[in-house]
Chain A
Amino acid sequence: MAVQPETQNKGFFNTILDLADDTFTRITAGISAGEFRKMLRGEPPGRPNPRLRPHSDSFLLHIKPSYYHESVTRFTHTFRLGLLSTYLFILETITGAILMIWYAPTPERAYTDMIRLLSNVPLGQFMRDMHRLGAELMVAIVTAHMVRAYLTGSYKPPRQFTWFTGVILLVVTLFLSFSGYLLPWDQLALWAVTIGTSMAEAIPPKVVGDTVNLLARGAPDIGSSGLLRFYLLHVLFLPLILILFFFVHYYKVVLYGISLPAQEEEIGEDSAKKVPADRRVYFLPDVFLDETSFLLSVTAIMVVWVATYFQAPLESIANPQSTPLHTVAPWYFYWLQGLLKISDKFISGVLLPGVLLVLLMGIPYLDPNPSRRIKDRRVAIISGVMAGVVMIIWSYMGTPQYAVQGAPPIEVVQEIMPEEGAGLVREVGYKHLPNGDFLTVDTDTLVRYLGEEDAQKLLDSGVVPMDNIHDEDDPEFAEVMHEFAAGISEQQERDANFNNVYGILHVIQDQPHLKRLDWEINYLSGEGESDKFVRSFWLHEDALYWEQYARRDLSFISRLTEDGGVLGSMKNLLGLE
């Protein structure tokens, strides 16, 4: 509009105000400043409702319904799990795109890129941890979303196809998470994915299984081709499939509306789209506020979680020649790993997951019950809960606790200082491990095991028996020795070929800042022959080891003083020094 005649008509000040209001309305796609103020005050809209305009004017809002039924906006009806899944996907896309900047999918670079990301990229570790946490949460939330839809019977007509696409989205989410697992190229990644892809091998006939396996790995074993394929799956193909099915899924949700609580409508009826005027809750401002404050809260929880209790793991570089003891799948595949332990690869890796998937997709077409009310759906609810319990039992069998146990001395050391990962000793760390030789038994027990003479010889060589290791001296070290002894007695009870066991921990200063830990375990076999097991590990003063779900080691903050405090650190970060 022409400003000059306006100014002549209304005066300068009013023209500016109108222009400002006009700009505001353009930005909000149809909400004027006055209407916005009314929203904040909680006043009802006028008629016709001016708050509907953004739904026709704005691209992002045109896919959202302009109003909902009051009953479905209650938090406990949907827990907003679908919204949260979508949000997590967006979060994964953003953090993932940032991580891609520092990552090259080749075996030569992938792992060193991870180390560089952790040690040389400001916020690199934060981005990686958020991405990992988001991925695991997404699997959990998508599953919970499905469970919720099942329990409320929301898959029933007319929403069968919505459920069907939802199952596909769950599968894609699982594959997305799993394909991302390989990318850090560490031992954890390589072996979890090797086990995963080897299940494809079991598809009959053999030529199909072999071909699928070969296509996934790019070679008989996972190497550079396999890494590239998983990378492309992770960043390109699977997200595209997910986006496609997401839009189908979401379109169906909007088309049929969110199903009402079952009690509020007649059996067999679907009145989700027939919302009486007095039960309408408009997206602007009520649902919008609900969703925004909910997502902001979830983000805050995730950020606090990452800052305190969550760190994405990174183990040793992938080594196809050495399989670490107790390889574990990610927790959401524990059930598969548990199944693999009790049946062969074809049944547990192909047949059962395949049948489960078909059943899951077919639920809306198989369930003849028209009622969505819990009291009418006893069979469905009980079989659903049973399936959940079975999954949990299978998952438990997939955990390392239920693992195939190795030889007792190996298990004792693995418990306290595992080949990969942290373990108590590495968490306690270098500074709590004094040089010397330490026994897991007290003097009396040693005499009983070895006889007076040999026991005295051992003690004279400078070995410290358990009765001389006191909590007051160093509680952390005492805990290590107590755990070592506890592990031994646990295995001793379990295994009849593991008797009169005494362990000796030799801590040797191998180099400056580097200690060698020799875990020596002496025992009598079932036939009474004495045997010895020794396993050596090294521990560096600066090495930090962490568990994925444990308190983050924040001791590095004390380095701030060396860096000249917060100010010096910030200058350093911005390169102002």
Chain B
Amino acid sequence: MHKPLYHYLYIKSPIAKIAIGILALVVTLAVLGGIIVTEVPRMEAQTANWNGRSIEKGAALFASNCAPCHGDHGQGTMNVAPALNSKYWFTHRLDDLGYTGSQKSYVLLTVAAGRPSKVNSQWAQRMATWSRNYGGPLRDDQIDALANYILNWQESAVEQTDEEDPWQPFDGVDTGWAGVRAAEAGITETVGISDTQTVSETAEPRAPEVLFVNMGCSGCHNLNEPQDENTPHLVGPNLGNLAEVAGTKVPGEDAETYVHTSIVAPNDFVNPGYLPNLMPQNFAEQMTPEEINALVTWLLDPNRPQ
């Protein structure tokens, strides 16, 4: 009979085998018991974890998609997009709008479905539809992450003083906030709504680089990156090499005509791979013809400072 050298290591006693089995069972049950007892705090930690990770994801999305208009810190951009890191926005905006849902559903709705341009709005720029369900680029989980990120400002925003609040209503436009402040000061008279949408005839023409930001172009068009298949782009095509590609888009249209048409009538030619109706179609009313021409020249300048 061949027995290996280490045969004395074999456990032969049935009692020892039973003891090992019972010990293993006890260890298993004890550890399982420990896991069960701590399940509630573990689930709480996991819930907080996934909420935190969602906020992290939302922060990255906000930086690349929303910050160009709404500002790096959610402070908004004058004439383009409202502040979100704002006490007013968190505390009174929904009341003033007459919106009955929650702050989060308001954000989800606005990000997903966008905002149609309003005749009496102080915001010249139309919020794009961001959800894939409405033709935008983002998935539902990304929209949820964005909403979580935006709402994460609440804790510090509600501590803002009136001076710190970046919410800046247009002159002469009642956003409601003025009314609230007036009411708090004991004044009941509110300022009437006026139409600021029309272009002021007397004002100096605005510079193209100012227009590019104020009209919200920068929200969807990257000025520095070239327009080709390999470079990632925002909602609209990149404009880095516009001078080279503009003349090749529509047969019979030179670069100036093409860019001009693209601004005043964006749907006349939509680049393949992009969606129609995303770009506002009322720029001809928002800018004077001189301003538009200057913008076209500036966009087509290959040496435009970046």
A residues near B (Cβ < 8 Å) are: 39-40, 42, 71, 74-76, 108, 111-112, 115, 118-123, 125-126, 261, 263-264, 285-286, 289-290, 292-293, 296-297, 299-300, 303-304, 307, 316-317, 510-514, 516, 536-544, 555-560, 562-563, 566, 569-570, 572-573
In chain B, residues 155-203, which have Cβ atoms closer than 8 Å to a Cβ of chain A? 155-156
Question: CA A323 – CA B18 in complex, angstroms?
Answer: 52
Chain A CB within 8 A of B31 CB: yes
A-side contacts of B257, CB under 8 Å: none
B-side contacts of A566, CB under 8 Å: 37
Question: CA A570 – CA B35 in complex, angstroms?
Answer: 11
Chain A CB within 8 A of B228 CB: no
Closest residue of A by beta carbon distance from B6: A76
Question: CA A357 – CA B6 in complex, angstroms?
Answer: 36
Chain A CB within 8 A of B305 CB: no
B155 touches A303 (CB 8 A): no
CB distance from B226 to the nearest CB of A (A): 19
Question: CA A562 – CA B48 in complex, angstroms?
Answer: 15
A42-B14, A538-B59, A543-B56 are known; give 20 further A-B pairs, CB within 8 A.
A111-B141, A120-B47, A122-B43, A123-B39, A125-B42, A125-B46, A293-B20, A511-B59, A511-B149, A514-B55, A516-B59, A542-B49, A556-B45, A569-B37, A569-B38, A569-B40, A570-B40, A573-B36, A573-B39, A573-B40
The stretch from B22-30, B205-213, B273-281, B283-291 touching chain A is: B22-30
Question: CA A573 – CA B31 in complex, angstroms?
Answer: 17
B47 touches A119 (CB 8 A): yes
A76 touches B4 (CB 8 A): yes
Which listed residue, A292, A540, A570, touches B56 by the CB 8 Å rule? A540
CB distance from A533 to the nearest CB of B (A): 16
CB distance from B184 to the nearest CB of A (A): 26
Known pairs A76-B4, A303-B32; A316 contacts B25 (CB<8 A) = no
Closest residue of A by beta carbon distance from B20: A293
A-side contacts of B41, CB under 8 Å: 556-560, 562-563, 569
B-side contacts of A559, CB under 8 Å: 41, 44-45
Which listed residue, A119, A557, A562, touches B50 by the CB 8 Å rule? A119
Question: CA A542 – CA B156 in complex, angstroms?
Answer: 17
Chain B window 47-82, contacts with chain A (Cβ cutoff 8 Å), 1 for yes, 0 for no: 111111101110110010000000001000000000
Chain A CB within 8 A of B118 CB: no
CB distance from A367 to the nearest CB of B (A): 24
Closest residue of B by beta carbon distance from A317: B141
B4 touches A74 (CB 8 A): yes
B55 touches A538 (CB 8 A): yes
Which listed residue, A71, A296, A573, touches B24 by the CB 8 Å rule? A296
Which listed residue, A115, A123, A293, A512, touches B35 by the CB 8 Å rule? A123
Which listed residue, B2, B63, B141, touches A261 by the CB 8 Å rule? B2
Question: CA A570 – CA B15 in complex, angstroms?
Answer: 37
Question: CA A433 – CA B13 in complex, angstroms?
Answer: 57
A544 touches B24 (CB 8 A): no
Q: Is the interface of A mostly helix, strand, loop or mixed?
A: helix
Chain A CB within 8 A of B152 CB: yes
Known pairs A300-B24, A556-B44; A118 contacts B50 (CB<8 A) = yes
Question: CA A289 – CA B21 in complex, angstroms?
Answer: 8
Chain A CB within 8 A of B34 CB: yes
B-side contacts of A112, CB under 8 Å: 141
CB distance from A507 to the nearest CB of B (A): 14
A511 touches B4 (CB 8 A): no
Closest residue of A by beta carbon distance from B153: A511
Question: CA A165 – CA B60 in complex, angstroms?
Answer: 51
A514 touches B59 (CB 8 A): yes
Question: CA A85 – CA B117 in complex, angstroms?
Answer: 64
Which listed residue, A75, A285, A556, touches B14 by the CB 8 Å rule? A285
Known pairs A289-B17, A316-B57, A511-B152; A122 contacts B38 (CB<8 A) = no
Q: Can you identify 15 A-B contacts, CB atoms within 8 angstroms?
A: A42-B14, A74-B4, A76-B6, A112-B141, A125-B46, A286-B14, A296-B24, A297-B21, A297-B24, A300-B28, A307-B34, A540-B51, A542-B51, A544-B45, A563-B41
Question: CA A263 – CA B3 in complex, angstroms?
Answer: 10
Known pairs A120-B43, A300-B28, A536-B63; A542 contacts B52 (CB<8 A) = yes
Known pairs A511-B149, A543-B49, A569-B40; A307 contacts B4 (CB<8 A) = no
Question: CA A288 – CA B59 in complex, angstroms?
Answer: 58
CB distance from A564 to the nearest CB of B (A): 10
B-side contacts of A511, CB under 8 Å: 55, 59, 149, 152-153, 156
CB distance from A387 to the nearest CB of B (A): 26
CB distance from A256 to the nearest CB of B (A): 21
B48 touches A542 (CB 8 A): yes
A-side contacts of B73, CB under 8 Å: 510
CB distance from A293 to the nearest CB of B (A): 4
Known pairs A40-B14, A544-B49; A514 contacts B37 (CB<8 A) = no
Known pairs A538-B60, A540-B52; A118 contacts B10 (CB<8 A) = no
B40 touches A572 (CB 8 A): yes
A-side contacts of B140, CB under 8 Å: 108
A75 touches B10 (CB 8 A): yes
Question: CA A541 – CA B53 in complex, angstroms?
Answer: 9
Closest residue of A by beta carbon distance from B154: A512
B50 touches A299 (CB 8 A): no
A-side contacts of B42, CB under 8 Å: 125, 556
Closest residue of A by beta carbon distance from B63: A536
B-side contacts of A42, CB under 8 Å: 13-15
Closest residue of B by beta carbon distance from A73: B10
Which listed residue, B14, B36, B139, touches A122 by the CB 8 Å rule? B36
